[in-house]
Amino acid sequence: MFITVEGIDGCGKTTQLELLAEWLREQGEEPVLTREPGGTWLSEEIRRLLLRPGPEPVSAVAELLLYAAARAEHVARVIRPALAAGRLVLADRYSDSTLAYQVAGRGLERSWAEAVLAGATGGLRPDLTFLFDLAPEQALARAARADRLEQEDLAFFERVRAGYLAIARAEPERVVVIDSNGPVAAIQAQVRRLVAARLAQARREGDR
């Protein structure tokens, strides 16, 4: 099973993913915990290039292609092998980030982006995605550091948020929207309930 977490910077997704991984380990699962951009040597190098504030602006097309390149490596070298070995994969961001940030946020063409992403991932989609929804004013106040993307203005993050919510409306079976404006423990309880239900369902289907 392939589970991803998504949301704007500072939404709390990374904390929630780590707590979920901890709980799964207590249940005897051995989840593969990974992140995007990242997860392989090349993808981490691309991550450094993308997040470091540089002396010149980066074109949106180049940005999308770099995220896609990092994802292609990650899928081929980490995610697919882990899924093939029957592991549960937990990824901090995946293709929805590109559709939210580069398409909704930067205004790149959706059909082109979808074609690039399909090529990069070979069509691999998450089974379950948690979208941690939070107003940009609140989320950015939480984000400790300011990397290149976090230096964008509020209007950019409003577009990214709207992009994410549109994905969730289009794919309600896959994407669960979680209101991230609440105590960490209460949010984590919701996440665990949903993951437990999905794992039980997968086991039932596997037994058939």
**Least separation, in Å, of the C-beta of 208 and ligand TYD?**
35
Interface with ligand TYD includes 37 (CB under 6 A)? yes
Residue of 2, 3, 4, 9 that binds ligand TYD (CB under 6 A): 9
Interface with ligand TYD includes 98 (CB under 6 A)? yes
Interface with ligand TYD includes 92 (CB under 6 A)? yes
Residue 176 near residue 16, CB atoms below 8 Å: no
Interface with ligand TYD includes 73 (CB under 6 A)? no
151 C-beta neighbours (distance < 10 Å), count: 9
Separation of first and last alpha carbons in the chain: 17
- Give the span between the Cα atoms of 193 and 6, in whole angstroms: 18
Selected range binding ligand TYD among 95-103, 127-135, 167-175, 177-185, rule: CB under 6 A: 95-103
Contacts 24+ apart (CB under 8 A), 82-86: 82/32, 83/1, 83/2
Binding stretches for ligand TYD (CB under 6 A): 9, 14, 36-37, 51, 67, 92-93, 97-98, 101-102, 143, 149-150
